[in-house]
Structure formats: structure tokens, C-alpha cells
Amino acid sequence: EMFGQLTSGLESAWNKLKGEEVLTKENIVEPMRDIRRALLEADVSLPVVRRFVQDVSEQAVGVGVIRGVRPDQQLVKIVSEELVKLMGGEVSELTFAKSGPTVILLAGLQGVGKTTVSAKLALYLKKQGKSCMLIAGDVYRPAAIDQLVILGKQVDVPVYAAGTDVKPAEIARQGLQEAKKKNVDVVIMDTAGRLQIDKTMMEELKDVKRTLNPTEVLLVVDAMTGQEAAALVTTFNVEIGITGAILTKLDGDSRGGAALSVKEVSGKPIKLVGRGERMEDLEPFYPDRMAGRILGMGDVLSFVEKAQEVMRQEDAEDLQKKIMSAKFDFNDFLKQTRAVARMGSMSRVLGMIPGMGKVTPAQIREAEKSLLIMEAMIEVMTPEEREKPELLAESPARRKRIAQESGKTEQQVSQLVAQLFQMRVRMKNLMGVMEGGSVPALSN
């Protein structure tokens, strides 16, 4: 599981809040210590961790109580939002040239997956309907040129190669000329990777960059290298000026430090991520999905969101008054069940994301089905019947009519009426008003 260790490290933070009623300055001390430790163990850089912990703490203490939401769930929500922010908020799209070919220059140290990414990126863009060409610029490793030619064949994209005796900037010039002649939409240039940054490498890159005037300069970094990846992005940006990063090997047991640090440390976004060795394994970097995966709590997030929304939407006081005076009727019933159903479909969306969501599709289908049945019956009720459920409890004739008009059985109608009264009782009990809360027996 990606970031498994980070996920379980954070879990211990939520667990420390079980049994608490509100978030306070005092009771978040321990959970925040866990969060700090989990992030440091995930190899997130220290200044980033410090700032993160401070931001989360401030918000946690200031957050209001939401009816029905536990403090640990609220903290999960705050951490999730801050994680998304940390990773840049929105997805950062690739930029394309307005006229002429879009040029993407790839840089990176040896072994990070740069050659593989070149071909993956060509395939990714091809799928978006763009014609591509690759330029083989790793003149120090003949094997790298061969590899790119092979991968190019595999994804059916032409590769411009000029051997190892030509300077990279000259290869770039010739390649670009060829691309313009062929009228391709996107040119992707793979450059030499060294084992470490050296002066020659940077100078060559600068030359290539001047020659190509690229739309995107992307540094390929390996997720396994943690905060070191973020430091590299910073260095390359200062030295040659880049537009973003591509994070590879996110499928391995990387700890999360790179994904969480790159944007904050370097100011440059991660634009794409590699998640496997297959050519198809390249995708945009979605900060919100990444945060969701790290937390592994899709259901909690959507629940808190929905509770916030429901609280905003409904007039809470009005509902409370209705419950106190036992006026909770079929109209309210419908509103409530629909709110719950919306939560259901929300968790289905989140449930599609691997490792998220604990609501099973079967449960959701079941809930949606019974909502449809209830709606059908409530729809054929008269306004008076909706407001005075007693009318239905007292009259088998009315229940029979509703059954006939809605195409349901009389038993289903009786169930619905009983359910409403049970709900009234449950709510009255919740509000601490015990008297008068009995479920009437339906007269036959």
C-alpha cells in the first residue's frame, strides 16, 4: 500500500481523540505530536513539517462543533485540507504552445526513470490526440539511446537520434527542425542523466534549453529519494529554471516525503506521477486524491463535508422545534432520508478510489432502492397526510389507497408509517424528551 506507514502513523493521532467531545488546545497536543512524527518518518523536510503542524493546530483549536461530527473526524478533515494545500491545491496541467510545436525538455539524474518517462509521456499525449516526437539526447550512454528507440517503437512514436558524437544542443536543434518539418504537436527531449549534479551537466542543459526554448522544462525525480527529491527540484530550478517536476516510482514503497515536500520546498508543482513500469503508468498529480490516499478515510471526509453542508442548508432550529413538539412529518422525513442518500452517493464516488471508502456498493444500492420506494409512497400522499402521519396510522383505507397508487404493498406502507413514528421517538429521546414518545399501534 502506497504510503502505508504514513497512513498508520496518522491513525494513531486520530485514536488519541476518541472519547473527546471538542478539540481543545490541550487535547490536540498528543495527536499533533503523532502527526509530526509520522510526517518526519515519511521523510518530509523539517521546515515543511513545522509549518504544517502549526497550521493544523491553529485551525483545530478554532474550529466550531458540528452536530454529529466527532473531534477526531474534524481533525482528519483539517489535516486533509492542509495536505491538499501543501501539495499545491489544484492539479497542475501541462502547458502547450499557442503556435508551433510544444517542446518539453526532460532532465534528471541517472536511474530516476527519465528515459521511461519520455516514452510514457509521448503515449500519454498521444492518447489526448497529439502527435509526438522524441529526441534522444543522452549522449553519454549509447544504451539510453537504444532504450529510447525501443520504447518509441513500443508506443509508436518516432525517435530522432543522432548518435553519441554530436553535442546535445546540436541534437536538439536538428531534432526540433525535423519536428517542425513533420508538423508534430509535441516534441519531447530526453537528456543525459548523471549520477550526481555536476557543472558540465548543468551547462549542457542550459545550452539545450536556449536552443529549444521549451514550453515545459520538467525535472524527473524518484519518489524513493524523499525530501532529497524536493532539494533537487529546487537546485535545478535555481540553476536552469524549470516549470515543474515528474515524480516516478510512486508505486513502490515510497514514504511520501517527496510528494509532500516538492511544491512547498521548491515552489514548483509536481505535474505528473509515474506509478509503475508499464508505458500506461503515468498520470496527472492530483493533490486531493493523493491526500485521500494518504489518509485512507474517504468515508470520514465525505461524512464531515455532508454534515457541514446539511447544517448550513437546513434550518436546524426549526427542525428541533418540530421534533420537540412531535411534528416531525413525512416532509421532514423525506428531507432527512434524501440528505442521507446524498451522503451515500458521495461515498460511492470516493469508494472508487483505491484504499478509500468503507461503504460497500451493495449497501449503497440497497439504501438507494429503499429511498426510491419511500419516495414513491410519500409522493401519492395528500399534503394533509404528509403533515399529519396520524391520519395514516388511524386509517387502513388511506394506507390501502397509497399502496395502490404507488404500486407498493400495504405492508410497505405500514412499514413506512411505523418507521416515521419510530424516528420521532428516537429523535425525542436524543433531545432528552422522553415523555409522550410511544409508537402507536396501527389500527386495522
Q: Is 387 near ligand GDP (CB under 6 A)?
A: no
Q: Is 249 near ligand GDP (CB under 6 A)?
A: yes
Position among 36, 70, 263, 275 found at the interface with ligand GDP (CB under 6 A): 275
Q: Is 355 near ligand GDP (CB under 6 A)?
A: no
C-alpha cell at 353: 478510489
Smaller CB distance to ligand GDP: residue 110 or 414? 110
Q: Is 168 near ligand GDP (CB under 6 A)?
A: no
DSSP string, 92-121: -PPP--SSS-EEEEEE--TTSSHHHHHHHH
**What residues numbered 310-349 form the site for ligand GDP, per CB under 6 A?**
none
Q: What track of x and - describes contact with ligand GDP for positions 176 through 195 (by CB under 6 A)?
A: -----------------x--
- The closest of 394, 396, 383 to 329, measured between CA atoms, is 383
Smaller CB distance to ligand GDP: residue 121 or 125? 121
Pairing relation of β-strands 270-274 and 282-284? antiparallel
Classify residue 312 as exposed, middle or buried by CB count within 10 Å of its CB (0-12, 13-18, 19+). Answer: exposed
Q: How far apart are CA 121 and CA 125, in angstroms?
A: 6
CB of 138 to ligand GDP, least distance (A): 7
Q: Is 302 near ligand GDP (CB under 6 A)?
A: no
Classify residue 255 as exposed, middle or buried by CB count within 10 Å of its CB (0-12, 13-18, 19+). Answer: buried
CB of 272 to ligand GDP, least distance (A): 10
Q: Is 274 near ligand GDP (CB under 6 A)?
A: yes
Task: Give the interface segment with ligand GDP, choosing from 68-76, 128-136, 276-284, 349-357 (CB under 6 A).
Answer: 276-284
Q: Is 9 near ligand GDP (CB under 6 A)?
A: no
CB of 87 to ligand GDP, least distance (A): 18
What are the DSSP E strand ranges found in 83-208? 102-107, 132-137, 159-160, 186-191
Return the ∠ at Cα 117 (arms to 112 and 120), rounded to 5°: 155
Smaller CB distance to ligand GDP: residue 191 or 234? 191
Q: How far apart are CA 258 and CA 254, in angstroms?
A: 8
Return the ∠ at Cα 412 (arms to 407 and 416), rounded to 5°: 115
- 3-class DSSP assignment, residue 25: coil
Q: Is 284 near ligand GDP (CB under 6 A)?
A: no
Smaller CB distance to ligand GDP: residue 115 or 243? 115
DSSP string, 240-265: H--SEEEEE-TTSS--SHHHHHHHHH
CB of 377 to ligand GDP, least distance (A): 53
**What residues numbered 72-131 form the site for ligand GDP, per CB under 6 A?**
108, 110-116
Under the rule (CB under 6 A), what is the footprint of ligand GDP?
A: 108, 110-116, 144, 193, 248-249, 251-252, 274-277, 281
